[in-house]
């Protein structure tokens, strides 16, 4: 969700900015002016933004995990992370450096940092929508980034979010993990410089011993999980599926002497998951139950999605509210960073000229409807069916080439060649893991990802890793973590037989790794109730003024998607004919985040950002 806006302008634009913010009903609580040198003006705007002010005159919103100090740090506590040493968590941080302001986010970019610098205006936010609204206010055009838009016509997991640092709108850019933005004024015009640590340096291979690094990281996972129930008034749910990843969180929770302080849930709707997860409760003496109902501040889904996801992520998922009390969900999020998602390949083996089809879309002949004037034209019908009624729809060469260009640009920007043999997973780390996996920020900034650790990334890519580039549930850093936490749990069947580990194998690895048996919870600095998640009312007002309101329904999404299609530039509209067809003819009645047809609607809806 649109959690913040940092805006710095030359002095001649101050009056215009103040007039814009004057429309906000809660300006006295949400707007924090920040002093800068040279007559420039800087503003921080967020839900209860004044509470995010730090003792050093900067800003910190969200939470950070300092493993070295064994601390879980919440904003509003007085403690802050340093922009020069990014930490895991979910936060935005503004810090002074002499006359400059430096802005950075968390290590894995779970809270996005998106920006533009143009015409004496520097603006940083987690919302492309808010940045486009601001550009209109200053008379800056919101033109479609043609190459980025063309690449995003690819209906595929890699193409469901940004593939390069350029967003759907020209001039608005996304910051990969390890980035900082330095805002300088001095005696000249205000400007922004992007500083970044390249991936080989950010997650450099300092691993000297495989076992020691793995056990250290595994202990940290267990310690973070142990910390959550110690937070006063908080509720922690452990989600258990039939896979390997969620068992890391389960094993960590079961280490606690009184593990019933957690709530345990599983998904009965997925037969394979449930069949593998249900026996675990009886074996390890815990109880599945319904997730505790929490009070929420109601949010409409369409405004939330437009503020949070439009222009960077197609996933049509949005919560209906923001929790009013601290709640945490422990799952397996982050494991794909170590075990891979796209099968550890160069980008040329991944982009659609190699894949050759639109992922996940099965054409259904019975849903083809032709205009009445074509009825009876058998020659035309025959060739039309041959063109579009295929088992899987083909992707045009221009889309393929654009997808490769965007992926290559994104990877080059972080120091990785697109032909690196593991380029697909470096790309996953910088884009899908950050943007897609970070969508929890639409509801709250509080959800923890204990598996995401700097040294464990280095371990996964290390030459000392005995299980490099794992696929199809084969042994990996993740399976070793599970064995180190609970070998008995590792021996239990999974949802896919390929993931199952024999007793002999587990015992052999356990003998080598040892077992993590006792951890202490981290110190909690501050309290999550001081982290005011969600957008300020002014942002909701701006998005509703553009006609985006209500919740996800078939008719509402179809209408918005087809309206977005009308804003697709003529030069690339051919690439979106098939997405338009899917929305117009095959959009399901129930809008879900996992449906490719719904993701396709998200692609089209985002074009409404353009002028």
Residues 149-202 pLDDT 10s: 999 999 999 999 999 999 999 999 999 999 999 999 776 789 999 999 999 999
d(CA 28, CA 40): 21
Q: ∠ CA(86), CA(90), CA(96), 5° rounding?
A: 50
Give the Å distances, CA to CA, from 386 to 316, 359, 396.
Answer: 31, 19, 16
Written as one string, the DSSP assignment of 75-97 is TTSS---BTTB--SEEEEEEEEE
pLDDT at 457: 96
d(CA 127, CA 174): 10
Within 10 Å of residue 364's Cβ, how many Cβ atoms? 10
Look at the block and give the residue holding tokens 């997808």: 403
- Judge whether 605 and 543 are in contact, CB under 8 Å: no
- Judge whether 165 and 409 are in contact, CB under 8 Å: yes
Q: pLDDT tier at 442 (50, 70, 90 boundaries)? A: confident
3-state secondary structure of 184: strand
Tens-place pLDDT, residues 472-481: 999 999 999 9
pLDDT at residue 388 tops 50: no
d(CA 412, CA 321): 38
Q: Sort strands 523-525 and 71-74 into parallel, antiparallel or unpaired.
A: parallel
Q: What is the pTM of this model?
A: 0.93
Mean residue pLDDT across the chain: 91
pLDDT at residue 314 tops 90: yes
Domains defined for the chain, CATH in brackets: 210-338+435-527 (3.40.50)
Rounded to 5 degrees, φ, ψ at 169 are -110, 130
pLDDT at residue 513 tops 80: yes
Q: pLDDT tier at 1 (50, 70, 90 boundaries)? A: low
d(CA 440, CA 333): 11
- Judge whether 473 and 354 are in contact, CB under 8 Å: no
pLDDT at residue 458 tops 50: yes
Rounded to 5 degrees, φ, ψ at 334 are 110, -15
- Judge whether 99 and 187 are in contact, CB under 8 Å: no
Tens-place pLDDT, residues 221-253: 999 999 999 999 999 999 999 999 999 999 999
Q: ∠ CA(418), CA(420), CA(426), 5° rounding?
A: 75
pLDDT at 2: 78
Q: pLDDT tier at 207 (50, 70, 90 boundaries)? A: confident
Residue 520, class by beta-carbon neighbours within 10 Å (0-12 exposed, 13-18 middle, 19+ buried)?
exposed
pLDDT at residue 128 tops 50: yes
Helices (H) and strands (E) in the chain, counts: 22, 18
d(CA 202, CA 179): 10
Tens-place pLDDT, residues 331-376: 999 999 999 999 999 999 987 766 555 665 543 433 445 555 555 5
Rounded to 5 degrees, φ, ψ at 366 are -65, -15
pLDDT at 332: 93
pLDDT at residue 123 tops 80: yes
Over pLDDT 70: what percentage of the chain? 91
d(CA 126, CA 183): 17
Residue 181, class by beta-carbon neighbours within 10 Å (0-12 exposed, 13-18 middle, 19+ buried)?
buried
Query: For 27-57, what is the HEC assignment?
Result: HHHHEEEEECCCCCEEEEEECCHHHHECCCC
Tell me 586's DSSP state: H
């Amino acid at each position: 969700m649109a959690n913040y806006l940092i805006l710095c302008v030359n002095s001649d634009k101050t009056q215009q900015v103040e007039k814009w913010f004057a429309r906000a009903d809660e300006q006295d609580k949400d707007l924090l002016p920040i002093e800068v040198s040279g007559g420039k003006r800087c503003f921080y705007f967020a839900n209860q933004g004044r509470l995010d002010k730090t003792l050093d005159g900067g800003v910190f919103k969200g939470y950070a995990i300092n493993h070295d100090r064994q601390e879980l740090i919440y904003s509003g506590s007085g403690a802050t992370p340093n922009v020069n040493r990014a930490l895991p968590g979910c936060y935005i941080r503004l810090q002074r450096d002499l006359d400059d302001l430096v802005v950075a986010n968390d290590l894995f970019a779970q809270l996005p940092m998106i920006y533009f610098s143009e015409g004496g205006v520097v603006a940083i936010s987690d919302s492309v929508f808010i940045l486009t609204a601001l550009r209109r206010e200053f008379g800056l055009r919101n033109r479609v980034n043609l190459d980025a838009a063309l690449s995003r016509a690819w209906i595929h997991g890699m193409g469901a979010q940004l593939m390069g640092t350029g967003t759907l709108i020209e001039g608005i850019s996304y910051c990969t993990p390890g980035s900082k933005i330095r805002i300088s004024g001095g005696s000249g015009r205000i400007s922004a410089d992007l500083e970044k640590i390249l991936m080989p340096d950010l997650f450099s291979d300092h691993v000297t011993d495989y076992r020691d690094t793995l056990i250290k990281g595994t202990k940290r996972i267990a310690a973070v999980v142990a910390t959550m129930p110690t937070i006063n008034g908080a509720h922690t749910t452990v989600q258990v599926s039939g896979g390997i990843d969620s068992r890391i969180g389960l094993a960590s929770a079961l280490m606690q002497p009184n593990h019933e302080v957690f709530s345990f849930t599983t998904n009965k709707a997925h037969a394979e998951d449930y069949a593998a997860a249900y026996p675990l409760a009886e074996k390890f003496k815990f109880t599945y139950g319904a997730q505790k109902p929490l009070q929420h501040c109601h949010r409409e889904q369409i405004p939330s999605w437009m503020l949070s996801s439009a222009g960077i992520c197609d996933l049509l998922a949005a919560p209906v509210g923001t929790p009013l009390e601290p709640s945490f969900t422990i799952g397996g999020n982050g494991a794909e960073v170590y075990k891979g998602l796209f099968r550890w390949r160069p980008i040329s083996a991944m982009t659609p000229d190699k894949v050759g089809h639109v992922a996940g879309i099965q054409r259904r002949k019975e849903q083809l409807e032709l205009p009445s004037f074509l009825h009876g034209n058998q020659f035309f019908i025959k060739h039309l069916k041959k063109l579009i009624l295929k088992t899987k729809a083909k992707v045009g060469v221009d889309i393929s080439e654009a997808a490769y260009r965007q992926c290559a640009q994104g990877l080059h920007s972080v120091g990785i060649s697109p032909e690196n043999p593991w380029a697909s997973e470096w790309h996953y780390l910088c884009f899908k893991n950050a943007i897609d996996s970070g969508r929890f920020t639409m509801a709250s900034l509080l959800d923890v990802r204990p598996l995401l650790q700097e040294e464990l990334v280095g371990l996964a890519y290390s030459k000392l890793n005995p299980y490099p580039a794992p696929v199809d549930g084969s042994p990996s850093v993740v399976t070793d973590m599970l064995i180190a936490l609970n070998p008995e749990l590792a021996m239990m069947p999974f949802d896919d037989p390929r993931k199952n580990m024999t007793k002999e194998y587990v015992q052999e690895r356990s003998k080598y790794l040892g077992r993590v048996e006792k951890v202490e919870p981290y110190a909690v600095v501050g309290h999550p109730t001081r982290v005011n998640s969600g957008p300020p009312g002014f942002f909701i007002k701006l998005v509703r003024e553009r006609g985006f309101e209500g919740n996800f329904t078939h008719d509402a999404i179809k209408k918005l998607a087809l309206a977005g299609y009308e804003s697709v530039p003529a030069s690339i509209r051919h690439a979106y004919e098939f997405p338009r067809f899917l929305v117009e003819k095959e959009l399901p009645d129930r809008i879900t985040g996992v449906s490719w047809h719904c993701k396709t609607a998200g692609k089209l809806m985002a074009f409404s950002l353009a002028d």
